[in-house]
Structure 1
Amino acid sequence: MTQAHAAREQTGAVTVPTLCRLCPAHCGVLATVEDGRITEVRGDPDNPLFQGYTCPKGRALPELHNSPLRLLASQKRQADGAFAPIGVDQAMDEIAARLRAIVAQYGPRSVAIYTGTSGQSYPGGANMAAALLQAIGSPMFFTPNPIDSPGKQIAASAHGNWLAGDLPFAGADTWLLVGMNPVISKANGVPFNNPAQRLKEEVARGMKLIVIDPRRTETAKRAAIHLQPRPGEDPTILAGLIHVIIAEGLVDREFIDGEVDGFDALAAQVADFTPEYVARRAEVPADQVTAAARLFATRRGGMANCGTGPNFSQHGNLTEYLALCLATICGRWPRAGDPVHRPNALLPAYTARAQASGPFQGWGYGTKLRVRDLTDAACGLPTAALADEILLEGDGQVRALICNGSNPMAAWPDQRRTQQAMEKLDLLVCLDVEMALTARLADYVIATKMTLETPGMTQRVEALKYYTIGIGYPKPYAQYSPRIVAPPPDSDLIEEWEFYNGVAKRMGLGLTMGIKYGFGRFDEAPPTIIDMAKSDNLTTEGLYEKICEKGRFTLDEVRRHPHGHIFEVNETVAPKDPDCRERLDVGNAHMMGELAQVRAFEFQTEHADQAYPFRLISRRSNNFLNSAGRRLPGEKLTRGKAYNPLFMHPQDLTELGLQAGDTVTITSRHDRIPSIVEPDETMRRKVIAMYHCFGGLVEEDDGFETHGSNVGRLTPADRQYDAISGIPRMSNIAVSVSRGWSKDV
């Protein structure tokens, strides 16, 4: 027992196992409770998967729970624009009445919901929000996915899925990461139970890591080959790797013949992407391109994963598709007899088969938006167009928006347009734990409970593998946590799902929540349907019981292991069904057409405009998850920098006559923002980077030293956007950098 632990015991503090839910990892942690307050969170050494690991964000849970900025009661905007407390029951009465009136006058489509990344902490919240919209009859349900990594689902629809899942990171002899830094972001690819340690172990064992990134990231420093290209050239490089592998006969011909369509179309389309062409265009050595291709194709195991940056930089769908094609032509999918990777625990058991679930319609169906000819897609409705759906007058205009654990003013592109949209709404409701940027514009802010005041479980993490390869628990792991603390005294808080159910009852609507499992038509468990009309007096604990009722292991079995548990599941991949005729497709016509456009693009012209000589790319921080945690008092996470600096190579600083700490103006063809420069030798020359989800309202730029600047301001939503997901160019933005800042220029 450590001295600190002994001191806690003497004061009557209690330390209990639980799980952090700030990001998709859901790390197992220990929480210390003293006098009804969370006083410390640290890694749980008895957790069999995380083994004591947690990150700075998780360790800041006590400060988040106890923050003086936390909302302890819901708020209503008054006639003078100020906010005043309102009881949550009264707020639901008023919101339900206003929604009922809006629907009666303008129709069901006038109501929309946007649920954010923080909604993943509460499994019932987003599902119940969708159920409310369904009961109203509105299709306008939006998520962060179409402005984050929409290419993953779109690429999967064009390529198809492999029903045995992906290959494990542990034990692979090579791995390719494109625009990813999982050491910091905890993203897919490297397992997120301590990704830095997992990566260190595998490299020490002999894994040869390949990284494509304009910055020498913490992950790239561990790579055997680091291609440090000009930003935006990810599809060019991947096409070049495929070219070399095909030209040198390094493909898995048996797998291609048995399971793959479109190989000849792919080979023809990458024929011009020679190492020399790729080198000239992406500004990387040709021999590095060849070496990376040979390394990936000739070593055992290994897959390719892409990050948020490539999805931000245009051609994200194509980049993700080519990564799948690269794995497929090398036969990088589990075969019959291999151990099942990522078997379910709290989700229903499934049969992992060594066969394809072929391509399916991934766009051009369902709800059609009124702008930019956008439709529903595999990634969801195009979120970048929601501001325009609010601003555009006429039939179908969105007039009421509920933001579920989300902050559009910080996260959406084109911040000026976003603020205009938020201010135009007839009704804006935010469910949040503080007066975040969007909440400041709301009519009602519903104060919600925080994670450790609610039960938690890991089922949602298991489900991530159905959305993209390379993410989720690598083993049949599960954990459940009861509520650790009660809400603060005299608070009036509600859980998200209870809010939606309460509003529905007041509107005279019955909610039915449906939960699907697996890859669409290959679901082996029927959906779970929860009829709220038959579930009076349902608690969150009871809701989770219903959500998990078809699980391989019951919630009771998981509860017996408060530190989490890796269950015994000794399954191997089943053989292909003899009647299966489905195949993976590496020659999808749409993707091949887009690759032809990439090849025909005059890339020299793209970089010829000296008025905008720098390329601004996205970057993740180890201390923040989007906008959460930035305003904690005591500099718990900001470490003295409440702003998001502009990272720039020291030589670029010198050329501009700048020094660390200087104020600068960053100008794109669309808008301008202030920042403070910071030297970073890991940056490629003429490439700069900033963190997203900072800044104040549009009129608050002069306060950038205290809240940073919104990078989304530099991006127009209606130009240079993807025709399927609607995501505009949010990285690889042409900008200029100049000394000083004046709001009036």
Structure 2
Amino acid sequence: KTGEFWIADRMLGAQTRGDFEHCEVALFLGKNPWHSHSIPRARVTLKELARDPARALIVIDPRRTETAAMADLHLQVKPGGDAWLLTAMLAIIAREDLVDHAFLDARARGQDEVLAALREVPIAEYCARAGVDEALARAAARRIATAGSVASFEDLGVQMSRHSTLVSYLHRLLWLLTGNYGKPGTQYTPTTLVPFATGASGHRSPVAQAPIISGLVPCNMICEEILTDHPKRYRAMIVEAANPAHSLADSQRMREALRALDTVVVIDVAMSETARLADYVLPAATQFEKAEATFFNFEFPDNYFHLRRRLLTPPDGPLPEAEIHARLCEALGGFDDGDLAPLRAAAAQGLEAYGMTFMQRVLGDARLRGLAAVILYRTLGPTLPEGLAEGAVLLGLAFRCAMQHGEALARAGFGGPPPIAALSLFRAILESPSGVVFARGEWSDVRPGTRDGTIQLALPDMLAELRKLAEPTPEREPAFPFILAAGERRSFTANTIVRDPAWRKKDPEGALRVNPEDAARLGLIAGGRARVTTRRGSAVVTVELSDTMQPGHISLPNGLGTRDPEDAAAALGGVAPNELTAVEDRDPFAGTPWHKYVPARIEALA
């Protein structure tokens, strides 16, 4: 998703979400909310869209997903063909002058340059290269452009495929050129308690010089930052609630990289594949044994936050992450009792006294500011209701939110100067076991966060990449005639933290889905065994015949193929997809993996 974050920051200065509850047209691009959700009341909302004759559901996806099966228009693009399809649709809008000129004149810059580039696009050729009938592409483009409101969502289906960063740019052009931003039923910028994603910082990784986007090193370039004799190579890694030895591309190379580090520390609730390679494993309490929250708070106009209470006392040994972090910072000499004593004294006097002291002593001190979360936990945490010590960090977040979004907080009942509003919000979070509406937005609040306050449409590097689409498409390697989507989300898939085989009621082997025509040609049968091979490796799979797959396209689910050498019964069957993926297959801008575009071949096994 880092390519999307980078593009959104450059075009709009913020991330956006769609108002699917009120939109006339909903567009899902490489997204199957029937399984992946990500919108409120996902399945109910999809059913409402599908049933209403005045509304339309449009899906762009190589597979006929559960969402695509409900759609008014399903554009079943070839794997990796999204950039050509979106460019063709944009060209249709430009040539037929279906652009919202009034919106662009008032709120955007660069539209003339963008429209000029789009008018040069050979629409019929690009539709053919995308594998979508031109009439269908025109129907979808016109339905989007003429709708009163459009809400849109892109996800991993395109963000882990070819041209992923370019596709994020084209996707935004589609709803910006048609004026679908900042009004009911369209895209909006949520008021967040925590900034969820930002753009490029200007920093680069020390070895590969990869751009750092939203504070993240591109995952497909981590191995290059380790497996080298470069003097600034990474020497140690802290892995928290992640399993890179299984979940990142090219597991074989990632294991090699982890073994090459001087020190690996893993903080996790599961003894994962990565934990087994670590020098130190620090067991964490589960989500039921500590106060916790989600920071995916994107609702509008009312945005909601819920600090969940712990339900169980953790056993001896595992600790909440907040306690682990605090002990590590203390051991490293990040602060001492002299730094904490004034804050502890202030906490004993009440929240108002603590808030003032915290602002002066911590936020006003460059040395301590970066340790604010740990200091809050150590000094304010012990004074909070039992089991809520981890929630102390929310005071700092409440201060930030009050300073940035004072009007939205005031509408939700948290008015006054920022310190007063922040303390009021913090108290409400602690005292509301079912959560609290912390911000109430208005559509007039939805505006770009760019420096000059306008939408930036013409990104030179993206327009150059758009023009490159006219170049001949490289021929597919004859040895690998299929495209594997490595990591499909299904009814019974989960991230590798869920390691209990009994949880998987269906598809325990994580079958390879194959189009029946391809299966007949290759002699594959339902339930039979086959070998799938890529440039990086091979695996034996169970075959499932599915007409949801187009010919030449195959799919494996995510989260399977875990191994437990101490308990074979606890291992999950199926294939670990990243035994088949390669770190070299990545987006040239953001370095994101092409998990949804892995050249492969299949052979039947007796």
- Percent of counterpart pairs with the same letter? 25
Select 1:541's aligned residue among 366, 388, 391: 391
Report the 3-state secondary structure (helix = DSSP H, G, I; strand = E; otherwise coil) of the residue aligned with 1:735. Answer: strand
Do the aligned residues in 2 keep the contact of 1:342 with 1:475 (CA within 8 Å)? no
Do the aligned residues in 1 keep the contact of 2:63 with 2:550 (CA within 8 Å)? yes
Select 1:583's aligned residue among 446, 449, 454: 454
Deviation readout 1:285-313 (Å, 9 max, x if unpaired): 11000000000000111133211121111
**2:147 matches 1:299:** yes
Report the 3-state secondary structure (helix = DSSP H, G, I; strand = E; otherwise coil) of the residue aligned with 1:457. Answer: coil
Task: Identify if the C-alpha distance between structure 1 residues 431 and 294 changes in structure 2 by more than 3 Å, giving closer, same or farther.
Answer: same
Greater relative contact order, per chain length (Cα 8 Å cut-off, separation 6+)? 1
Distance 1:583 1:678 in 2: 50
Which residue does the alignment assign to 1:732?
597
Unaligned 5+ segments in structure 1 are 1-148, 349-360, 463-470, 513-524
Aligned residues: 543
Which residue does the alignment assign to 1:120?
none
**2:217 matches 1:381:** yes
Do the aligned residues in 1 keep the contact of 2:484 with 2:553 (CA within 8 Å)? yes
Report the 3-state secondary structure (helix = DSSP H, G, I; strand = E; otherwise coil) of the residue aligned with 1:628. Answer: coil
Report the 3-state secondary structure (helix = DSSP H, G, I; strand = E; otherwise coil) of the residue aligned with 2:63. Answer: coil
Report the 3-state secondary structure (helix = DSSP H, G, I; strand = E; otherwise coil) of the residue aligned with 1:430. Answer: strand
What letter corresponds to residue 222 of structure 1 in structure 2? M
Select 1:181's aligned residue among 32, 45, 49: 32
Task: Identify if the C-alpha distance between structure 1 residues 575 and 724 changes in structure 2 by more than 3 Å, giving closer, same or farther.
Answer: closer
What letter corresponds to residue 370 of structure 1 in structure 2? V
Task: Identify if the C-alpha distance between structure 1 residues 321 and 699 changes in structure 2 by more than 3 Å, giving closer, same or farther.
Answer: farther
Select 1:599's aligned residue among 470, 475, 479: 470
Which residue does the alignment assign to 2:322?
497
Shift of 1:732: 1.7
**2:522 matches 1:675:** no
Do the aligned residues in 1 keep the contact of 2:201 with 2:215 (CA within 8 Å)? no
Do the aligned residues in 2 keep the contact of 1:415 with 1:698 (CA within 8 Å)? no
Deviation readout 1:461-510 (Å, 9 max, x if unpaired): 22xxxxxxxx556632232322211113xx21111122122112112223
Task: Identify if the C-alpha distance between structure 1 residues 656 and 346 changes in structure 2 by more than 3 Å, giving closer, same or farther.
Answer: same
Shift of 1:544: 3.4
The equivalences for 1:524-539 within 5 A come to: 530=372, 532=374, 536-537=378-379, 538=381, 539=389
Which residue does the alignment assign to 1:418?
254
Do the aligned residues in 1 keep the contact of 2:107 with 2:454 (CA within 8 Å)? yes
The equivalences for 1:215-226 within 5 A come to: 215-226=63-74
Report the 3-state secondary structure (helix = DSSP H, G, I; strand = E; otherwise coil) of the residue aligned with 1:456. Answer: coil
The equivalences for 1:171-320 within 5 A come to: 171-187=22-38, 191=39, 193-205=40-52, 206-320=54-168
Distance 1:426 1:559 in 2: 42
Which residue does the alignment assign to 1:63?
none
**2:203 matches 1:366:** yes
What letter corresponds to residue 543 of structure 1 in structure 2? V
**2:530 matches 1:656:** no
What letter corresponds to residue 490 of structure 2 in structure 1? S
**2:281 matches 1:445:** yes
Task: Identify if the C-alpha distance between structure 1 residues 560 and 204 changes in structure 2 by more than 3 Å, giving closer, same or farther.
Answer: farther
Which residue does the alignment assign to 1:710?
576
Report the 3-state secondary structure (helix = DSSP H, G, I; strand = E; otherwise coil) of the residue aligned with 1:226. Answer: strand
Do the aligned residues in 1 keep the contact of 2:493 with 2:558 (CA within 8 Å)? no
Which residue does the alignment assign to 1:107?
none
Distance 1:620 1:401 in 2: 29
**2:553 matches 1:687:** yes
Do the aligned residues in 1 keep the contact of 2:220 with 2:586 (CA within 8 Å)? no
Distance 1:529 1:362 in 2: 23
Do the aligned residues in 2 keep the contact of 1:338 with 1:572 (CA within 8 Å)? no
**2:376 matches 1:510:** no
Shift of 1:697: 6.8
Distance 2:186 2:146 in 1: 22
Which residue does the alignment assign to 1:90?
none
Unaligned 5+ segments in structure 2 are 340-362, 382-388, 403-408, 415-424
Distance 1:179 1:575 in 2: 26
Task: Identify if the C-alpha distance between structure 1 residues 286 and 152 changes in structure 2 by more than 3 Å, giving closer, same or farther.
Answer: same
**TM-score, normalised on structure 2?**
0.81
Distance 1:478 1:160 in 2: 25
Task: Identify if the C-alpha distance between structure 1 residues 338 and 610 changes in structure 2 by more than 3 Å, giving closer, same or farther.
Answer: closer
Shift of 1:599: 2.0
Do the aligned residues in 1 keep the contact of 2:3 with 2:589 (CA within 8 Å)? no
Deviation readout 1:31-77 (Å, 9 max, x if unpaired): xxxxxxxxxxxxxxxxxxxxxxxxxxxxxxxxxxxxxxxxxxxxxxx
Which residue does the alignment assign to 1:461?
296
**TM-score, normalised on structure 1?**
0.67
Select 1:485's aligned residue among 312, 315, 339: 312
Task: Identify if the C-alpha distance between structure 1 residues 368 and 708 changes in structure 2 by more than 3 Å, giving closer, same or farther.
Answer: same
**2:489 matches 1:617:** no
